[in-house]
Amino acid sequence: MLYKQKKNPAPKGNRFLISITVQGSAGPIRFVVNEEELVAAVIDTALKSYAREGRLPILGSDLNDFFLYCPNACSGALSPWDTIGSPGVRNFMLCKKPQTEKIGEAGTLETAIARRGSGKWKTWLNKSLNLKISSH
């Protein structure tokens, strides 16, 4: 009897470990991704992992409510249609999108972003990375 080895199809692209820090959570989520995976799929995986681990604060499961940022790069949020390997980094930050106010009492649509919470992630990021330069 000859033993036939099963051949697993070779994964497309490189796989690497990423670390996603969730704003307000105690520590990062780490998992392996394919460099060709879309950012939207990575956000979905991160939210499922976060919920499975029972982390706080509770985030929800709608990936459209979140942005994925590269804290090292000064650019804005990654597009959900970009591949996760395109920025060339392995550390990310997951932030909830700011809530917009609903239709006002006068019947006008207010598109202003709620002021409460705006800019908190940048402050937190600067404090956590200790980017302050001492003057002495």
Of residues 55, 51, 46, the one with CA closest to residue 95 = 46
Q: Which of 91, 97, 93, 99 is nearest to 68 (CA)?
A: 93
Q: Which residues pair with 20 in a beta bridge?
A: 29, 92
> For residue range 1-48, what is the model confidence (pLDDT) as tens digits?
555 555 555 556 799 999 999 988 889 999 999 999 999 999 999 999
pLDDT-wise least confident of 22-31, 62-71, 106-115: 106-115
The span from the CA of 42 to the CA of 16, in Å, is 12
Q: How do residues 34-43 score in pLDDT, each as one tens digit?
A: 999 999 999 9
DSSP 64: G
Mark 66-83 as b/e (b = at least 16 C-beta within 10 Å): bbbbbbeeeeeebebeeb
Domain definitions of the chain by residue range: 15-98
- Span 15-98 CATH architecture: Roll (3.10)
What φ, ψ does residue 35 adopt, rounded to 5°? -60, -20
Residue 33: which H helix or E strand, with range? strand 29-34
- Give the separation between CA 64 and CA 73, rounded to whole angstroms: 22
Mean pLDDT, the chain, rounded, equals 77
**CA-only gyration radius of the chain, Å:** 19
